[in-house]
Amino acid sequence: MALNHEPNVVNQDAFYAELIRGQQDLSDEQADMMLAKFALTIANHIGAHTVLSEASDLARPTTQVAAK
């Protein structure tokens, strides 16, 4: 299995809104924990270590740039 780099989420705006709603009324620490749990749940569903490693390698540099 290869990492899909193309948009693949049906109704992306609705999903994003659900993700944001899930963090409402949470502290920053709780929101971070919720996102970590979400990531681990998705990772478990994907299962393929090579795909997960590629996704992690892709996400980190773009996160570092966005945080500056």
Q: What is the pLDDT of residues 10-25, one digit of tens each?
A: 999 999 999 999 999 9
d(CA 53, CA 56): 5
Domain locations in the chain?
12-66
Residue 43 CB neighbours (<10 A): 15
What are the C-alpha distances in Å from 32 to residues 6, 21, 35, 38?
A: 26, 14, 5, 10
- pLDDT at position 21 is 96
- pLDDT at position 63 is 79
DSSP annotation of 6: S
pLDDT tens across 51-62, in order? 999 999 988 887
d(CA 61, CA 57): 7
What does the block give as tokens for 50? 């090579």
- pLDDT at position 67 is 60
- pTM for this one? 0.79
